[in-house]
Structure 1
């Protein structure tokens, strides 16, 4: 099996090692391989291909990290035709940026990937909703 070398902050390595021990993985490589598989599957979701989606992307980073603020502003401008709304707030010592996007899976995946690759971002989470299923969801919930 080929070897891939990666670098990461010490605190992330500590969390990786704790997860490895807590869940009885054989080592860091096994955890990283599982994480990569999960990430690849996340972006290869066939049931959402070709559908118009609403996506909510949340980004958490340390308060006052201007490089992240500049990068997120640039991403918002780069994707302005797909960003329906943004919200910036403060939680504890962090900034929380929420993006609401209306786009296809590929566009939202690219956006999320670019946010995740931004240095000093602590966490990135997102959820997707196929817009053509909204009426169906309403029908199901109203008949319950």
Structure 2
């Protein structure tokens, strides 16, 4: 097995170690391997491939992080064929929430979500994904 060096904030490393201890993992490597598999598999659902999809993406960041808001504006414009709408709001005293509604293929949505996640200084990025064709979300499973 290859050894990989990864840079991350100390606070995140502490959370990973605590998670490993609390959930019975042998160590942080096992947690990171599982998280990597999960992330890589997120957008590889054959049931969704080739179908028109929509996604709602929620991004939370600190109010005093103007570079994040600027990055969100840039992403909106760069991917205007996929971003059908967006909404910015303030939550509490120091947080901003950016909501994106995306519409497109699995690859298109995957690209936009990946770029949003890669934006420095975001606190969290979450999304929901749903087919919007006449077949229904997962009709072939019924």
**Same fold by TM (over 0.5)?**
yes
Identify the range of structure 1 (51-60 vs 7-16) with the bigger mean alpha-carbon deviation: 7-16
Cα drift, residue 136 of structure 1: 4.3
In 2, the alpha carbon distance for the partners of 1:38 and 1:68 equals: 25
Structure 2: gaps (5+ residues): 138-142
Q: Could you report, residue by residue, the CA deviation over 1:50-87 in whole angstroms, capped at 9, with x for unpaired residues?
A: 11111101101111201111111110000111111111
**What is the root-mean-square deviation in Å for CA atoms of aligned residues?**
1.3
Tell me which residue corresponds to 1:131. 132
Total equivalences in the alignment: 136
Q: Report the Cα distance in structure 1 between the residues aligned to 2:82 and 2:118, rounded to whole angstroms.
A: 19
Secondary structure at 1:101 match in 2 = strand
Three-state SS of the structure 2 residue aligned to 1:109 is helix
- 1:59-70 paired onto structure 2 within 5 Å: 59-70=59-70
**Structure with the bigger percentage of helix:** 1
Matching residue of 2:95: 94
Q: Do the aligned partners of residues 110 and 25 (structure 1) sit closer, same or farther apart at CA in structure 2, a change above 3 Å counting?
A: same
Q: Equivalents in 1 of 2:23, 2:90: separation in Å?
A: 33
Which secondary structure does the structure 2 equivalent of 1:127 belong to? strand
Alignment match, 2:115: 114
Structure 1 residues 136 and 36, CA gap change in structure 2 (3 angstroms): closer
Aligned mates of 1:70, 1:101 — CA distance in 2: 19
Unaligned runs of 5+ in 1: 138-144
TM (norm. structure 2) is 0.91
- TM value normalised by structure 1: 0.90
